[in-house]
Amino acid sequence: MRVVKIDIPPDKSVSHRAVILASISEGSTRIKNLLTGEDCLRTIEAFRAMGVRIDVAAATDVVIYGVGMRGLKRPKRPIYLGNSGTTMRILPGVLAGQDFSAILKGDKSLSKRPMLRIVGPLRRMGAEISGARLKVSASGGKGDVYPPLKIHGGRLKAIKYKSKIASAQIKSCILLAGLFARGVTSVSEPVKSRDHTERMLGLFGCKVNKVSVKGPVQLKSPRVVDIPGDISSAAFFIVAGCILPDTKIVIKNVGLNPTRSGVLDILKKMGARIEIQSPKSKIQNKEPIGNIIVQTSILRGIRISPGEVVRAIDEIPIIMVAACFAKGETVIEGVGELRVKETDRVKSMVTNLRKMGADVKVEGDSLKVKGGKELHGARVSSYGDHRTAMSMLVAGLLVKDNLRVTGLSCIKKSFPGFEKMFSKLQLSFPRKRGSKK
């Protein structure tokens, strides 16, 4: 059996939060193992544009000289966030508490992502926010608002917010705004979404009681923050390890936060041979970490509930690929939120997998994948979405004829160095044929 060691990039969600909290805390913070993918660089640039000094100490190490809760400066021009939905949805929570106006813009895809989910509660807290309306609402529905967002911050009031959507971006945005408001701001949601913000606020000295904060709060730098590996990036190689013959894949220092590790539980239920080894210090900066070892497995179809989907929201595309290699049918329920990601991931994955010969159906907000059909080569697209791109490359691992995936440059959003790791599987990365963008 061949053993392949894979290095995965630092966690994207945790990286964004580390940059945000370090920027508005008192004191300097060294962030070790920060993701330098495009999205996190946008968050860094946003704070630089508001007067925060951020020095690059090494390839994935930065030092942020925090300016405190009231120290940000009005940006001279609109802040461009590229494709970064997390920055667009979380940063307004900080801007809502400032005494200046700022405009946040995004690229074409981000400009179609619905923002009312954060704009609504921030308005209730007292911020003035305007956004664009789309003639044809690609997502989100009637009356939604879209970037560019103009945020005029000010004095905020605390709210108790009951979110209809389980979303860490909504929750984080409101909690950050709550740091500036007098009183207790709390958020409840139908299913618990990832809780990195709550954990990291604790690291910066803010007491978080369940999902509530009592403002106003002064954050204090913990001096050093070390970011764990991204389980969402690891997921591509975990599924590769399951489907490739005679293979063992070892991935070290992966973040194992229980609100993120749904993909492991789902794949284990499907029969995946996954072993978790915890290194000496199992908790790093309040986030559990461990090593993942996965081996060639015989997968079977299962039913995945909406609650399980929340814990694996970014891994559904690669779970769909796993389902194609499983015996029997996999039903994934409650995938509506996938339609408002970097692209409509229901559409991108269903179209692509069907082109490869997979038996995939959409019924309302459920997906049905009948596994066991041999996939064949085809020309498929990333639709500009990093997770669709990497999922399709994994889907092509066992395909004998040519699979062409166009638009691979989006991968650097979350996984710089993917090509090198993918080539460790000793299969060619279809750069020349595939990358159009």
Active site residues: 314
For residue 419, give the nearest of 293, 232, 378, 427 by alpha carbon: 427
Residue 86 or 109 having the CB closest to ligand S3P: 86
Residues 6+ apart with CB under 8 A from 329: 301, 368, 369, 370, 371
Restricting to residues 306-325, which ones interact with ligand S3P according to CB under 6 A?
313-314
Q: How far is the CB of 414 from ligand S3P (least distance, A)?
A: 8
Answer for which of 46, 168, 408, 410 binds ligand S3P (CB under 6 A) is 168
Contact 81, 115 (CB under 8 A): no
Q: Pairing relation of β-strands 61-67 and 53-58?
A: antiparallel
- Segment near ligand S3P (CB under 6 A); pick from 21-29, 166-174, 271-279, 292-300: 166-174
User: Judged by CB under 6 A, which stretch of 56-64, 168-176, 201-209, 355-363 contacts ligand S3P?
Assistant: 168-176
Distance in Å, CB of 15 to ligand S3P, minimum: 9
Size of the site for ligand S3P (CB under 6 A): 11
Residue recorded with tokens 């007292």: 126
Residue 152's Cβ-count burial label (10 Å; 0-12, 13-18, 19+) is middle
Based on the shown chain and the rule CB under 6 A, indicate whether residue 167 belongs to the binding site for ligand S3P.
yes
Structure-token pair, residue 190? 């139908």
CB 266 within 8 A of CB 323: no
Looking up tokens 């049918």, which residue turns up?
329
Closest separation between CB of residue 13 and ligand S3P, Å?
Answer: 3
Nearest to 12 by CA among 278, 313, 295: 313
Cβ(382)–Cβ(406) below 8 Å: yes
Closest CB to ligand S3P among 312 and 356?
Answer: 312
Q: Smaller CB distance to ligand S3P: residue 188 or 428?
A: 188
Say whether residue 335 binds ligand S3P (CB under 6 A): no
User: Is the Cβ–Cβ distance between 191 and 164 less than 8 Å?
Assistant: no
309 versus 393: smaller Cβ distance to ligand S3P: 309
Contacts to ligand S3P from residues 9-28, by CB under 6 A: 13
| Binding range to ligand S3P, per CB under 6 A, among 43-51, 161-169, 252-260, 397-405 | 161-169
Specify the stretch interacting with ligand S3P by CB under 6 A; choose among 103-111, 137-145, 165-173, 426-434: 165-173
Burial of residue 239 (number of CB atoms within 10 Å: 0-12, 13-18, 19+): buried
Contact pattern for ligand S3P over residues 182 through 201, marking x by CB under 6 A: -----------xx-------
Interaction pattern, residues 74-93, with ligand S3P; x per rule: CB under 6 A: ------------x-------
The CA-atom distances, in angstroms, between 11 and each of 386, 401, 402 are: 15, 34, 32
Q: What CA–CA distance (Å, rounded) separates 222 from 225?
A: 7
Judged by beta carbon, residue 169 or residue 435, the one nearer ligand S3P is 169
Count the helix, strand and coil residues of the chain and give each as a percent rounded to the nearest 5: 35, 25, 40
- H/E stretch holding 151: strand 146-152
Q: Please report, as residue ranges, which positions from 210 to 269 form the binding site for ligand S3P (by CB under 6 A).
A: none
> Per CB under 6 A, which region of 163-171, 265-273, 348-356, 425-433 contacts ligand S3P?
163-171
- Residue 109 as a binder of ligand S3P (CB under 6 A): the answer is no
Min separation Cβ 325 and ligand S3P, Å: 24
Cβ atoms < 10 Å from Cβ of 162: 11
Task: Please report how close the Cβ of residue 142 comes to ligand S3P at its closest, in angstroms.
Answer: 20
Residue with Cβ nearer ligand S3P (232 or 330)? 232
**x/- site string to ligand S3P, residues 337 to 376, per CB under 6 A?**
x---------------------------------------
Scored b (16 or more CB within 10 A) or e, 208-223 reads beebbbbbbbebbbbe
Contacts (CB under 6 A) with ligand S3P, residues 389-408: none
Nearer to ligand S3P, 72 or 170 (CB): 170
Count of C-beta atoms within a 10 Å radius of residue 431: 10
For tokens 């139908």, the residue is: 190
> Hey, is 242 helix, strand or coil?
helix
Q: Which helix (H) or strand (E) holds 406?
A: strand 404-406
Whose Cβ is closer to ligand S3P: residue 194's or residue 214's? 194
* Near ligand S3P by CB under 6 A: residue from 169, 247, 257, 297: 169
Which residues would be at the binding site for ligand S3P (CB under 6 A)?
13, 86, 167-169, 172, 193-194, 313-314, 337
